[in-house]
Every structure is written in structure tokens, then in C-alpha cells.
């Protein structure tokens, strides 16, 4: 099955949704490109699902505009927007067979029975469920039901597919398998996917771009690696992955590098801004980017260094996780691969840790 043309583009302009006096969405502007996989990522209450429901037409915006392929759809009812939709609870009809569930949107559109049979068969092939036509939802596992819901959402060949936490009810291993299936399906169809999740790992795995939402606004939008390596705020750094936060005082500037003092050590950080000397700032770096400086690890890249004491050591299979404390009390986490060739550290041990200046960001 091939989509009718490429995926739709979606433009959100100062989009707002208020419930009484509470702003669920507080002015979101976002350009979603034709054919891309964009994820709206954020904690509960951040406005991501409300934004998705407004794109679908199930919620009416309080203000702002939604354009699909350049044309406003604010006044258009959901059934005329020709959008595929997948929900977390599958929303399958229990009294209909798999084929009847998948064919339902085609029947609503007046597609002939012969053509419905052909398109349902193609959709079942796409989601790897051929031969399941006559089964009922109660005869399927959770993962199979979600595949049927996906097939129903794409069978009428929409140019835009919206998904609201579709894998949230599944166990971890099945969820990870279906994440890869979603990526494959996106590549096969070439249509635009807008996906809502609170699961950061899911977003990083699947997306072309991620829009991180917080308190009804987009905090940052970009490719997964950009958000992970270059978070623009403490919220983004803390929500995507695990981060160390180091309070520091600016002591100088070297081109685009901020020189700051933290726990008696001089650290350097990448910053898009130029804070003034004496400013209190927050530096961040990822736990897996830190290394014990007296170990086998070496690097030619410019490094930050700081003295610490090990306060907790946890063996976690493929990694060892250490809680560290700097001289003036700043807590840090270091993660390193678990290997017989790497000496494990003991609680109370003093050490120096090092990491690249390029992995130190001012937020």
C-alpha cells in the first residue's frame, strides 16, 4: 500500500486551549514537515495530548490556527480532515472481526466490498498480521490488538497519522519491538507521523525530531541527538536522559566557552549566551560522559576535572553507577561500563574525574 502523495505538512500558529481559566496549551507554534516522524514529548499535564486532539479536531482551540498542507482546518470537522488516529486503549469494536474493524473507515467512506477486502489484506500485511481476518479482538494479545488499530488507521491511506501513547499499555519488550515496527511502517508509508509520549527513550528511538513540551509550551524542538547533547534549558536536560547539574560562578569568557568556578575547580562549558563575570550559572553534563581520571581512559580533547569522593557504588549489570560528592557538597553521578578490566570503586574512595569540555553545557 502506498500513500496518496507524500505526507502532509502541519503548521501550528500560537495555538491555545483553555479549560475555564487553566491554559492546557499556552501558545504553541510549530512547523511539522511533510513525511517526518515528530514526537510531542513531555510529562503529564504538559499539553501534548491536548495539542494532538486539536490537530485531530476532537478539541476546539481557544485561539491560534492549525494548517494542514497550508490550509486552515480550524472550522473543519474531524471526519473531513482525513487523518489516521491510534489511541492507547486501541478502541477496537469487540463485536467485529479484525477485517471488519480494519475495514470500518473504508465502509464509512463508501468503498466497495471487493476493494475493502483488498485494502484490508494489504494493511494486514503491513502490520505483519496476515491470516488474522476472522479473529475477534478478544482472541488477540495486546500487541496484536495495537497492530490492528494501526492497520485501521492507515487502511484509508491518510497523509497524516496521529498517535496518542499507543504503546503505553504494553510490556517493555513488546513495546521496544513495536517501536522498531513503527519506524519501519513510517519508512514504508512515507506519511507524516505525529506521536505523543511521556517516554523519553521511546521518543529518542523513533523520532526524526522531538518537540519537548512543558506547561503548555514547546521548551525545545530538534533532532534527538541535538536535544540530548545540547539541551537549551535545565528542564530539557533533566527530562531527556539523566543529567548532572553543577552550580557555578562565571569567572571569564574564552570565545564561546564560559569559564566558571564550581566546588573550587575551574570548569569550562559551551554556551550560546555570554553571561557576565560573577553571574551564578548552572552547568550540566551526562553521567556516562564522566570518567575516573586515574583509569585507562584517556582523551586528547580539552577536559574538565574535579576532585570527588565516592558516596555510593551500584553494580547494574552492563554498567556501574557511582554517586559522587565534590568538596563543597555538589552531588554527581558517573556511569561507566562494567568490565573485568575496569577497577570498581569503593565507597569512601577519593578520586579525580574528568570529562570533555564539549560535553559541558550551560543551561
User: Which residue ranges make up each domain of the chain?
Assistant: 10-237, 242-362
> What is the structure's pLDDT at 173?
81
Angle at 248 between CA 215 and CA 330, to 5 degrees: 85
> What is the structure's pLDDT at 251?
93
CA–CA gap between residue 26 and residue 298 (Å, rounded): 47
pLDDT tens digits for 255-276?
889 999 998 899 999 988 888 8
Helices 172-189, 113-126: inter-axial angle, 10-degree rounding: 120
Per the CB < 8 A criterion, the answer to whether 195 and 55 are in contact is: no
Domains 10-237 and 242-362 share a fold: no
**Whether the predicted pLDDT of 250 surpasses 80:** yes
Give the pLDDT band (50/70/90) at residue 295.
low
Give the pLDDT band (50/70/90) at residue 176.
confident
Give the pLDDT band (50/70/90) at residue 3.
very low
Q: Determine the average pLDDT of the residues in 84-103.
A: 90
Q: Which CATH superfamily is domain 10-237 in?
A: P-loop containing nucleotide triphosphate hydrolases (3.40.50.300)
Cell for 252?
571569564
Per the CB < 8 A criterion, the answer to whether 162 and 194 are in contact is: yes
Per the CB < 8 A criterion, the answer to whether 40 and 52 are in contact is: yes
**Whether the predicted pLDDT of 98 surpasses 90:** yes
> What is the structure's pLDDT at 296?
55
In sequence order, what are the residues at sequence separation of 6 or more whose Cβ sits closer than 8 angstroms to the Cβ of residue 304? 265, 267, 268, 285, 354, 355, 356, 357, 360
Q: Which CATH architecture has domain 242-362?
A: Beta Barrel (2.40)
Q: Determine the average pLDDT of the residues in 135-159.
A: 91
> What is the structure's pLDDT at 2?
43
Amino acid at each position: 500500500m502506498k500513500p496518496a502523495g507524500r505526507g502532509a505538512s502541519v503548521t501550528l500558529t500560537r495555538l491555545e486551549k483553555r479549560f475555564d481559566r487553566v491554559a492546557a496549551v499556552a501558545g504553541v507554534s510549530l512547523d511539522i514537515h511533510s513525511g517526518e516522524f515528530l514526537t510531542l514529548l513531555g510529562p503529564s499535564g504538559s499539553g501534548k495530548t491536548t495539542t494532538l486532539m486539536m490537530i485531530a479536531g476532537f478539541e476546539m482551540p481557544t485561539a491560534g490556527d492549525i494548517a494542514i498542507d497550508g490550509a486552515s482546518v480550524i472550522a473543519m470537522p474531524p471526519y473531513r480532515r482525513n487523518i489516521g488516529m491510534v489511541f492507547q486503549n486501541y478502541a477496537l469494536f469487540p463485536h467485529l472481526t479484525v477485517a471488519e474493524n480494519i475495514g470500518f473507515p473504508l465502509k464509512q467512506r463508501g468503498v466497495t466490498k471487493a476493494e475493502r477486502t483488498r485494502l484490508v489484506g494489504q494493511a494486514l500485511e503491513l502490520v505483519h498480521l496476515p491470516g488474522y481476518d476472522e479473529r475477534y479482538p478478544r482472541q488477540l494479545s495486546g500487541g496484536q490488538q495495537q497492530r490492528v488499530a494501526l492497520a485501521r488507521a492507515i487502511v484509508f491511506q491518510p497523509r497524516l497519522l496521529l498517535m496518542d501513547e499507543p504503546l503505553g499499555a504494553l510490556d517493555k519488550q513488546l513495546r521496544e519491538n513495536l517501536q522498531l515496527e513503527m519506524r519501519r511502517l513510517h519508512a514504508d508509508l512515507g506519511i507524516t507521523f505525529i506521536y505523543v509520549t511521556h517516554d523519553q527513550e521511546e521518543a529518542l528511538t523513533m523520532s526524526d525530531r522531538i518537540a519537548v513540551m512543558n506547561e503548555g509550551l514547546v521548551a525545545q524542538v530538534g533532532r534527538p541527538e541535538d536535544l540530548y547533547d545540547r539541551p537549551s534549558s535545565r528542564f530539557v536536560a533533566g527530562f531527556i536522559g539523566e543529567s548532572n547539574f553543577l552550580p557555578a560562578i562565571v569567572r571569564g569568557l574564552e570565545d564561546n566557552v564560559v569559564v566558571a568556578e564550581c566546588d573550587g575547580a575551574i570548569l569550562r562549558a559551551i554556551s550560546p549566551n555570554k553571561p557576565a563575570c560573577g553571574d551564578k550559572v548552572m552547568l550540566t553534563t551526562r553521567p556516562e560522559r564522566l570518567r575516573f581520571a586515574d583509569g585507562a581512559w584517556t582523551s586528547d580533547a580539552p577536559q574538565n576535572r574535579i576532585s570527588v569522593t565516592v558516596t555510593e557504588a551500584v553494580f547494574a549489570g552492563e554498567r556501574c553507577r557511582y554517586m559522587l560528592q565534590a568538596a563543597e557538597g555538589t552531588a554527581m553521578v558517573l556511569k561507566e561500563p562494567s568490565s573485568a578490566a575496569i577497577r570498581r570503586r569503593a565507597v569512601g574512595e577519593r578520586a579525580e574525574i574528568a570529562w570533555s569540555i564539549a560535553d559541558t553545557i550551560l543551561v
